[in-house]
Amino acid sequence: MNRHFSWKLTVLTFLLCFISVCHAEAKDIGWGIPKGENHEQPWPGQEFDDIIRQNDAYYIGPADQKMIYLTFDCGYENGNTPLILDVLKEHQVPALFFVTGHFMEQNPELVKRMADEGHIVGNHTWHHPDLAKVNKEKFNEELQLVEDKYKEITGQEMVRYLRPPEGHFNQQMLDWAKERGYYTILWSLAYMDWDVNKQKGADYAYNQILARMHPGAIVLMHSISSDNAECLNKLIPELRNEGYEFKSLQYLMTQDSPVIIE
């Protein structure tokens, strides 16, 4: 092989590697995870699991602890959040509420109640954009607006937990989140609960969640769902009867890296 051809091959190899790396970093990932069955942890695949573990992000807790971490996404309010808070208070269950700017502006009393009753209020962005498609200035603005509003309402600094809207993220977004001191929180259990025109009743929600429950579950529920609000009073005691404990996500952060069983 002559030197001229060898030099061209080296340059081409470098360019291909560079393009590959850039593409990987810009890859828009829509989080998804199979249904858990028989009380066993679901497995998203090695690639997804590695990405999460390496970037101050969580989607599940340890497999050897029957803990449940309830999280609620609050894009807007349609009358169900007070009932959710009532039930959580009655059963002494902590939760993490991810709020948007719209929710905070329209319902400051609910945000304050969440904080006063010992729940964590997390950042779901101000305008609910796809964070994998915004520039850094927009990313920081989306998070800062929520932080400022939370402090205005509660007088407290916001705990740095971020749930990217619709679970969309990429390496760039994860890096920006880490720069701001955020943990990115995804989930290991969810069902189609967000369409307010397709609510199927409390028993449906109860059965959907119960069938998919597993140790270490980070549960995503939408506060706009009447099914969720109405099933909790029955669901919480049943899960406790099955040996599960409800913990704040802060508890998970004190543990070692979650152990996942394939």
Residues 52, 59: contact at Cβ < 8 Å? yes
Q: Alpha helix locations (H) across the chain?
A: 3-26, 46-53, 81-91, 101-106, 108-116, 136-154, 171-179, 202-212, 226-241, 249-253
Rg (the chain; Cα; Å): 20
Nearest Cα residue to 42 out of 218, 164, 167: 218
| 204, β-bridge pairs | none
Domain 38-253 grouped into CATH 3.20.20.370: yes
pLDDT confidence of residue 22: 38
Confidence of residue 154 (pLDDT cuts 50, 70, 90): very high
Residues 177, 184: contact at Cβ < 8 Å? yes
Q: Has residue 16 got a pLDDT over 70?
A: no
The widest CA-to-CA distance across the chain, in whole angstroms, is 79
Confidence of residue 28 (pLDDT cuts 50, 70, 90): confident
pLDDT confidence of residue 30: 77
pLDDT confidence of residue 24: 37
Question: Would you say the C-alpha torsion 89, 74, 180, 251 has a positive or negative sign?
Answer: positive
For the segment 183-194, the average pLDDT, to the nearest whole number, is 96
- Which residues are the active-site residues? 73, 222
Total residues found in the chain within this entry: 262
Domain ranges in the chain?
A: 38-253
Distance of CA 54 to the CA centre of its chain: 16
pLDDT digits (tens, 9 = 90+) for 134-153: 999 999 999 999 999 999 99
For the segment 165-189, the average pLDDT, to the nearest whole number, is 97
Q: Tell me what the pLDDT averaged over the chain comes to.
A: 88
Give the β-pairing of 67-74 and 95-99: parallel
Q: Has residue 3 got a pLDDT over 50?
A: no
